[in-house]
Amino acid sequence: MITRLLRTAALAAAVLGFAGAAQADYPDKPIRYILHVSPGGATDVMARKLAIAMEKTLGVPLVVENKAGGRGAAQLSDLAAAKPDGYTIGAVTSTHIGAFNQTLKQYKIDSFDWIARLVNEPYLIVVNKDSKIQSMKDLIAASNERPGNVVMAGFVRGSGGHFAWEIMAKAAGVDSKKVRWVPYDSVGDAVTATLGGHAEAAIAYVDLVKTHVDAGNLRVIAVMADQRVPQFPNAPTLKELGYNADTSWQQMRGIIGPKGMPDDVKAKLADAVKKALETPELKAYITESSLVPAYLGPKDFTADAEKQDKITKQWMEALELTR
């Protein structure tokens, strides 16, 4: 009996030792990096640049896969079913958190492991070049004079952009119900609608409107940030306009993984992300795109996601989106 117990203990120790060695050798094969968007967009472009930079630290390829559809449903289904061994990771944004509380209620914050936050993107309001609305003051006046007729284009109701508008409207003392929020399949589609004159204004990001603003077809009337963005030095912040909005509410980009990943694996991935964001190539891209460097490791990123989730739930309740 004693001999059998000793053999069992020795076998268990060997197995544990092997598992520890295998984990210490992580990674030793390609890592899947699943996106929720189609190729070519801002999230896709940054993910591919990030993957190249992370490969230099991790020593293995990061294979980017695009699984668009269902506001992240296709991507998250694949990610949730993957082994939590660090060989499958996924992109995440603030819009995912909104979806957890609406269309993808089968998921919640603790359905995944939050590995690293990358950057934040400030929201802004743009109007068509021919619009009579020249400023936030004009937008407020128009909404009061023509309640329900002023159209604000954006992503789906309950998205990060939708809540950004509600936060802006509250800070400006505007009854958001007087402005008709029209949802589109993407923020890019909302910008296109504003270019075509189908909406007076749109909630968007710098990288999606810069070309149109530079060409004179769109005009930025307010930026939801503490400081003016370099690309639009003449566009005022809400604070400059006298509106005390919570500028911490921005579109976040980060990386998550299947629930149950080992802490040291998450730490290795997070460290690779941090080093990648410090490379000249990523720094240049972040600056050119007017993104805000906002790295957070696993613990802090999890706390930040929980905070965003709490704010999301509060706004959904206030806007009666939970019914």
pLDDT score at 320: 81
Mean pLDDT of 24-33: 94
Percentage of the residues of the chain whose pLDDT score is greater than 70: 92
* Residue with the larger pLDDT of the pair 258 and 70: 258
pLDDT score at 1: 52
Report how far residue 211's alpha carbon sits from residue 199's, in angstroms, rounded to the nearest whole number: 19
Confidence of residue 22 (pLDDT cuts 50, 70, 90): very low
Which CA distances in Å does 222 have to 72, 80, 92, 123? 29, 38, 26, 9
Model confidence, pTM: 0.78
Q: Is residue 295 over pLDDT 90?
A: yes
Residue spans in the chain of domains classed CATH 3.40.190.10 = 123-224
pLDDT score at 2: 54
Confidence of residue 8 (pLDDT cuts 50, 70, 90): low
318-322-323 Cα angle (round to 5): 110
Report how far residue 122's alpha carbon sits from residue 196's, in angstroms, rounded to the nearest whole number: 24
CATH architecture, domain 29-121+251-318: 3-Layer(aba) Sandwich (3.40)
Confidence of residue 4 (pLDDT cuts 50, 70, 90): low
Percentage of the residues of the chain whose pLDDT score is greater than 90: 65
pLDDT score at 15: 45
Question: Looking at the domain 123-224, which fold is it?
Answer: D-Maltodextrin-Binding Protein; domain 2 (3.40.190)
pLDDT score at 19: 43
pLDDT score at 34: 98
Residue spans in the chain of domains classed CATH 3.40.190.150 = 29-121+251-318
Would you state the torsion angle of the CA atoms of residues 81, 84, 86, 92, taken in this order, to the nearest 10 degrees? 60
Q: Is residue 40 over pLDDT 90?
A: no
Backbone angles phi, psi at 130, to 5 degrees: -90, 0
Which CA distances in Å does 18 have to 11, 22, 117, 304? 11, 6, 32, 35
| Average pLDDT over the chain, rounded to an integer | 89
Mean pLDDT of 46-58: 96
Report how far residue 211's alpha carbon sits from residue 197's, in angstroms, rounded to the nearest whole number: 17
pLDDT score at 221: 96
Mean pLDDT of 85-102: 92
| Least confident residue range of 11-15, 218-222, 289-293 | 11-15
pLDDT score at 243: 92
Q: What is the pLDDT of residues 166-208, one digit of tens each?
A: 999 999 888 888 999 999 888 889 999 999 999 999 999 888 8
Q: What is the pLDDT of residues 103-129, one digit of tens each?
A: 899 999 999 999 999 999 899 999 999
pLDDT score at 21: 42
